[in-house]
Amino acid sequence: MEPVIRNQSDHENPILGPGDGVSSYVMLYVKHAIGESSPDHVHPWEHQAFITEGSGILVFGGKEYPIKAGDAVLVPGDVRHQFTNTGDVPMNRVTVNPIESVQ
């Protein structure tokens, strides 16, 4: 058995997923340009995000929370949420979702 190594610049999301033998979780790399937001959405699964660059806000259940590079974020399931870049550089994040998010 060999490890699976993927570079975000060469692969679309999920970077690691079922096609790579992943059985439980998928990994995404999400880039938010200045002023850009993820969709305002809700889903049944929890997921985790790690902010690798930039800063912004997480709108979670109608309340705003500041986030910045180095922050690890747990987003519980069944709560409306959105990531927004409010900084002056790109805000990028690694997100880990359960496998059902892509099935």
3 domain residue, yes or no:
no
1 domain residue, yes or no:
no
- Residue 2: what pLDDT? 85
Give the pTM: 0.91
Structural domain containing residue 78: 8-102
Which mean pLDDT values do the consecutive 10-residue runs of the chain (103 residues) have? 88 92 94 98 96 98 97 97 98 96 89
What is the number of structural domains in the chain?
1
27 domain residue, yes or no:
yes
Q: What are phi and psi of 7, to 5 degrees?
A: -105, 135
28 domain residue, yes or no:
yes
CATH of the domain at 92: 2.60.120.10
- Residue 45: what pLDDT? 95
Nearest alpha carbon to residue 48 among 81, 20, 4: 81
